[in-house]
Amino acid sequence: MNLYGALDKINETHDAAGLWNFVADYMGAQSVPAYVYHHLPAPGAIDYYDQFFVKKSIGEAPSQLCDLVHDYFTSNFRDSARSMEKVQHWKNCCTVDRLSDQGEVISTQSVSGVTLPVHGPGGRNGCFSIVLPSHQTECENFDLRKVKWLCQSAHQTYCKILIENNMDMPKLTPREIEILSWMALGKTNNEIAICLDISTHTVSTYTRRIFLKTNTADRTSASLYGISNGLLKL
């Protein structure tokens, strides 16, 4: 399947399991032996997948390869992952032993790869850490440009799935969303009252309800919640 067909397939996917299985198939066609995906919701986002990650070993790659890549990401990129802008290349970061059925070491492989930042709605960012092909014949199948496009599309689709399926997300009324949008623009309760031609006391009541529903304690966190969960478009 060419890149455009793969992107169309991803955009049409509505379940997480199907999404990650398809990504693994495409990565395998690119001779990628393993990848790890980290989903990093923006501060204020409420869902059940905070710091969620997917680990996939492809083909005959040993499962421990993903564990090594996950540990490498956690040690080197975890703190900077939310603000990462450029592809991070890592070479010979660790080694993995290929074992026989009897548990004997057959070969030892140095692992090299890249970590790709991906960006979603409302600051929901993520990273794909991808093990690069180790053999020259496999490298000829690998196209980093195509993989970057695929990863970005997969991340955006996954964000959409999370938002669509997050049934426990508190429901704000249209009026509460309107108040929240003014809060996100930095307006005080008195200024919001003037804009909406209502009393400051009424705005304060709405503000308390918004804090309660979004499980936040201040205007900045509530605004981040609204942006991250697609309630506000600034």
Which pLDDT score is estimated for 197?
A: 94
Q: Which residue has the higher pLDDT, 64 or 167?
A: 64
Cα pseudo-dihedral 226, 48, 21, 36, rounded to 10: 90
* C-alpha to C-alpha distances, 37 to 34, 54, 89, nearest whole angstrom: 10, 5, 16
Token digits of residue 126:
């993520």
**pLDDT above 90: residue 31:** no
Looking at residue 63, its pLDDT comes to 73
For residue 81, what is the DSSP state?
G
Residue 54 β-bridge partners: 37
Distance CA 32, CA 133 (A): 6
- Residues 146 and 2: beta-carbon distance below 8 Å: no
Which domains does the chain show, CATH number per domain?
3-165 (3.30.450.80), 174-228 (1.10.10.10)
pLDDT tens digit sequence for 80-121: 777 788 888 887 666 655 544 555 544 456 678 899 999 887
Give me the residue label for tokens 């992107």.
Answer: 7
127 by DSSP, 3-state: which? strand
How far is Cα 157 from Cα 32, in angstroms, rounded to an integer?
Answer: 21
